[in-house]
Chain A
Amino acid sequence: MTPLPLVLAAGGGPVIPSFGKASNCVVQNGQFCSGWFFANWHAVFQPRLIEHIELTAIAVGVGMVIAFSAAILAYKQHWFETPFSLLAAFLYTIPSIALFEILVQITGINRFTAEVALVGYTLLILFRNTLTGLRGIPPSALEAAQAMGLTQTQSLFRVEIPLAMPAIMAGVRIATVTIISLATVAAYIGAGGLGEPIFDAIQTGFKTEFLATGVIIVALAIVADVLLVLLQRLLTPWAYRRRSA
Chain B
Amino acid sequence: MRTSDPFSFFVNNLSLFGSKTVEHLVLSFAAMGIALAVSIPLGVWLGHLHRGSFLAINVSNVGRALPSLALISIGIAFLGIGTLNVIVALTILAGPVMMTNAYVAVDTVDPDAVQAAKAMGMMPLQVLWRVELPLAMPLIFAGIRTATVYVVATATLATFAGGGGLGDIIVNEPSYGTGGVIAGSLVITALTFATDAVLAGVQYAVTPSPLRKLGIRPRTDEAVLEPS
Contact = CB atoms under 8 A, between A and B. Distances in A.
Q: Within the complex, are A and B direct neighbours (CB within 8 Å)?
A: yes
> Chain A contact residues (Cβ within 8 angstroms of B): what range?
35 or more
Given A129-B225, A167-B224, A170-B226, A93 B65 contact: no
Interface size class of B (residues with CB under 8 A): 35 or more
Given A2-B173, A177-B64, A184-B69, A210 B77 contact: yes
B31 to A, nearest CB: 15
A210 B227 contact: no
Contacts of B160: 198-199, 202
Interface string A188-213: 10000011001101100101101101
A239 interface: yes
Interface string A55-69: 000000000000000
A89 interface: yes
B184 A239 contact: no
Contacts of B76: 201, 207, 210
A48 interface: no
Contacts of A232: 227
Contacts of A170: 224-227
B27 to A, nearest CB: 13
A97 B73 contact: no
Given A95-B154, A97-B157, A214 B189 contact: no
A188 B185 CA distance: 14
A147 B156 CA distance: 55
A26 to B, nearest CB: 13
Contacts of A201: 73, 76
A132 B224 contact: yes
A90 to B, nearest CB: 8
Contacts, number: 154
A98 B173 contact: no
A95 B171 contact: no
Interface residue SS majority, chain B: helix
A98 B156 contact: yes
B53 interface: no
Given A98-B186, A181-B70, A215-B74, A188 B171 contact: yes
B225 A32 contact: no
B78 A31 contact: yes
Nearest to A212: B77
B140 to A, nearest CB: 21
A100 to B, nearest CB: 8
User: Top 9 closest A-B pairs, CB basis?
Assistant: A181-B67, A214-B74, A98-B185, A211-B77, A214-B73, A217-B70, A170-B225, A95-B153, A184-B69
12 contacts: A32-B77, A97-B170, A98-B185, A128-B220, A174-B225, A181-B69, A184-B69, A210-B74, A214-B77, A218-B71, A221-B67, A239-B227
